[in-house]
Amino acid sequence: MTRPSTHTRPLSPHLGIYRFGPHMIASIVHRVTGDTLATLGALMLLGWLGAIAAGAAAYAKFTDLAWSLPGKVVLVGLTWIFFQHLFSGLRHLYLDTGAGYELKTNRAMAIATFVLSVIATALLWGMIMMDGLNG
């Protein structure tokens, strides 16, 4: 039988020296966006393919739902998730080369992933909406 230790074990050093920063948020968001793309994106794809297979009436219902306000919110959200995951993945690829671990550089790259994903989403949806108005 084991006896409880009378020694107090030290805490991991990361609990006292790391501050929660943009690089940590970017890493967590990267994991969440990957899971969301895998699940929600797959469900959307399967729904779309099912609607195509079910015929013209089902496809028309699907497109009506997709272009309704709640559908657009989901599509814009998925677009942001895609771009966030893309830019964060590029950030991780750059970090895998051994570069970019300086605090200022790492912080700037983490913030850039969020800024670039918002800009890319706005540009893409701006083009989609302009095309919808023109055609």
Q: Is residue 16 situated within a structural domain?
A: no
Q: Is residue 69 situated within a structural domain?
A: yes
What does 35-52 look like in DSSP terms, one character per residue? HHIIIIIHHHHHHHHHHH
pTM of the model: 0.83
Q: 70 lies in which domain range?
A: 21-134
Q: Is residue 30 situated within a structural domain?
A: yes
Q: pLDDT 10s per residue in the chain (135 long)?
A: 567 666 676 666 665 667 788 999 999 999 999 999 999 999 999 999 999 999 999 999 999 999 999 999 999 999 999 999 999 999 999 999 999 999 999 999 999 999 999 999 999 999 999 987 765
Q: Is residue 7 situated within a structural domain?
A: no
How many domains is the chain partitioned into structurally? 1
- As a whole number of angstroms, the distance between CA 2 and CA 104 comes to 48
Chain Cα centroid distance, residue 73: 15
| 68: its two tokens | 């309704």
Q: Is residue 44 situated within a structural domain?
A: yes
Q: Is residue 51 situated within a structural domain?
A: yes
The CATH number assigned to the domain holding 58 equals 1.20.1300.10
